[in-house]
Every structure is written in structure tokens, then in C-alpha cells.
Amino acid sequence: MMEHNFDFDRGSGKNPFGVPEGYFDDFCKRMETMTTPKRISLLQRVKPYRYAAAVIAVAVITGAFLLNNYNDSQKLQTQHSRTVATSEYNDVINKILIEDTNDDMIVDYIIAEVD
Amino acid sequence: MNINREELDRLTLELKDEKLRSRAFSKIVEMLSKPVYWHIRKMVLSHDDADDLLQNTFLKAWQAIDSFRGDSQIHTWIYKIASNETLTFLAQQRLRNTSSSLEMEELLLNNLRADSYFDGDELERRLQEAILTLPEKQRLVFNMRYYDNIPYEEMATICNNSVGALKASYHHAVKKIEAVFKDDD
């Protein structure tokens, strides 16, 4: 039998374990960091709103730029269409005038102008 | 357990005040981290595991502080969380690494042998090995009574058990440990 002097009735056993030096102090500091509510500055509090505002501003500027481009291209297209339509109209009128005008009509016109 | 109960009661009241809560909890951690650490350490034996479990215990207590109604004293409540955390950890470790209680005992014995922070002599090491032969809940009861001298009434709250059952459990634990020493011829 292995002899021992443990007094199990008294219940005052010696703790045979140890810890690294300064362990409990470090543990308390670690826990304090984990359980202390972080103070949030006004600048940090409005940070999400600043991001949202920046996104909205970029969207508005991009939208305005795209809209502007679209309007310009529409204007150019209209102008171009008008120019094409006018020249086509003139061609048709000229064609009609030339085709419907004979030499007698020209002579009559000149005589009338001279008079 | 050498705890200033009056100071703990005062801090428990401060926990109800949101402005004082965080500071009061830090003070409670300061007062209870040592006894709760030893309570866990004697069960898991390894310092690293005990450190993780101690942190989990206090974090869980902090997160559930609103649910602490003061039916029991704050240190009993935290001991209870620590005991549950420890028993859950040991059960998970058994599931992960071993298939029998004998293998689990061997795993914990290896933790003990490899522990560079074990300050005890050969006889104390032998006592730890004998304690490891006990079922986990009985080990918990033995450690609380033999090392921490926790009154049976408090142990009853921590373990959700009757005083009579705990006295019987401690008595059986001592018998088993004596038997281990008797077999060491």
C-alpha cells in the first residue's frame, strides 16, 4: 500500500497546479477589453451615413452625366434628321420645278421681268 | 473558497445599473477568476484548455447578465456556468478523440504528465491519477469539496443536486481513491 497523508475529511487539499507568471492579471485585462463597451465618436457614428451620401452623390453625378450625353446625342440626331429632311425636300422641289418647266415658260418669265 | 461576499453582493447590485455594469463585472472577474480557474483546471488539467474555458465562462456570464435574477449568489451562478462549460468540453473531447472512458482517462493522464505547470510532488501526482479514475461528475464533487472546501449547500446549487446525494458522492469518491492507493503495492 502506498502511504499518504491526505486528510479527505478536512477538505483542505493543497493545489498542485501552477500558472504562467502574471496570468491572472493578463486574464483580467483581456476580459475587461472584451466586456467594456467601446465609445463611438460622432465621426464614427455618422460613418455609415457618410458612405451612403458618397454613393448617392456618385450615382447622381453619373446619372446627370449620362442624361446630358443622351440629350446631346438626341439633339445631334434631330439636327441631322432635319438637315437630311431639308436637303431631300429641296431636291424634290428642284426636281419638280425643273421637270415641270419648259422653254416657253422660261421665255415668258424673262419677258415679264423685262417689262 | 475565500471570497469577500459583502463586496460581491455590492457589485451584484451595481450590475443592474447600466452605467456601472461593465466596471462592476470587471471587479467580479478580478475576484472570481482565480477560484473559477482552479475549479476548471483541476477537471481538464491542461492550462491552455482551462484558459479557454475560463474565458468562455465569463463571456457567457457577461452575455447572460440580464437573465441573472439573483436567485443564487453571483459566484455560485458563475461556478455553475464553469461546471457546465467544463463537462460539455470533456464530453466533446471524448467524442472527438476517444471511444471509451479508459482512453479518456489516458488522454487526461497525458495532459497531466506533459503539464509544465504541475508543481506537486510524486504523491500529489499519484492522487491526481487516482482522481482521474472517478466519473466526471464525481470528480467535480471531489475537487469542490477536497480542494475548495465549498459547503455542500452551495455545491447543491452548482450541481443541481441534493446535499445528501453530494455527501454520498464524496464519500464514494474517497473510498475509490483510498482503494487506488491500497492497490499501489
Taking CA atoms, what residue in A is nearest to B50? Answer: A19
Give the whole-angstrom CA distance, residue B4 versus residue B14. Answer: 16
**What mean pLDDT do residues B74-84 have?**
95
Task: Tell whether the model's pLDDT for residue B33 goes beyond 70.
Answer: yes
Q: Which residues of A touch B34 (CB under 8 A)?
A: 24
Q: What is the pLDDT at residue B2?
A: 67
Q: What is the pLDDT of residue A107?
A: 85
Between CA B131 and CA B139 the distance in angstroms is: 6
Length of chain B equals 185
The CA distance from B161 to B164, in Å, is 8
Across the interface, whether the CB atoms of B117 and A17 are under 8 A apart is answered yes
- Grid cell for residue B90: 470533456
Query: What is d(CA B74, CA B111) in angstroms, rounded to the nearest whole number?
Result: 31
Residue B102's pLDDT band (boundaries 50, 70, 90)? low
Distance, CA of B8 to CA of A31 (rounded, Å):
18
B28-38 mean pLDDT: 95
Sign of CA dihedral B30, B160, B87, B149: positive
What mean pLDDT comes out for the span B56-64?
Answer: 96
Chain A positions with Cβ closer than 8 Å to B: 1-2, 4, 6, 8, 11-20, 23-24, 27-28, 30-32, 34-37
Distance CA B33, CA B62 (A): 13
**Weakest mean pLDDT among A61-65, B67-71, B91-95:** B67-71
pLDDT of B122 = 84
pLDDT at B101 over 70: no
- Return the pLDDT at B41: 94
Mean pLDDT of chain B: 89
Looking at residue B176, what is its pLDDT?
A: 94
CATH number (domain holding residue B118): 1.10.1740.10
Q: What is the per-residue pLDDT for B118?
A: 81
Nearest alpha carbon to residue A26 among B45, B141, B47: B47
Confidence grade of residue B67 (pLDDT, cut at 50, 70, 90): confident
C-alpha cell at A109: 418669265
Pick A7 or B151 by higher pLDDT.
Answer: B151
Residue A53: Cβ-neighbour burial (10 angstroms; 0-12, 13-18, 19+)? exposed
Q: What is the ipTM of this complex?
A: 0.83
Sign of the alpha-carbon torsion through B153, B28, B79, B15: positive
d(C-alpha B73, C-alpha A77), whole Å = 84
CB B143, CB B155: distance < 8 Å? no
pLDDT band at B99 (very low <50, low <70, confident <90, very high): low
Q: Among B98, B86, B130, which residue's Cα sits nearest to residue B112?
A: B130
H helix runs in B15-134, sequence order: 18-44, 47-63, 74-97, 101-114, 122-131
pLDDT tens for B113-141 read 777 778 778 888 889 989 999 999 999 99
> What does the pLDDT average to over B88-95?
89
* Residues of chain B positioned with their CB less than 8 A from the CB of A29: none
Average pLDDT over residues B96-112: 74
> Looking at residue B6, what is its pLDDT?
86
Low-confidence ranges of chain A (pLDDT < 50): none
Q: How far apart are CA A71 and CA B63, in angstroms?
A: 59
What's the pLDDT band for B70 if we cut at 50, 70, 90? confident
The count of domains in chain B is: 1
Nearest to A37 among B22, B51, B128 (CB): B22
CA distance B144 to B164: 15
- CB pair distance less than 8 Å for A13 and B146: yes
pLDDT over threshold 60, residue B185:
no
**Do residues B48 and B65 lie in contact, with contact meaning Cβ atoms separated by under 8 Å?**
no
Q: Domain range spanning residue B37?
A: 5-183
Percent above pLDDT 70 for chain B: 95
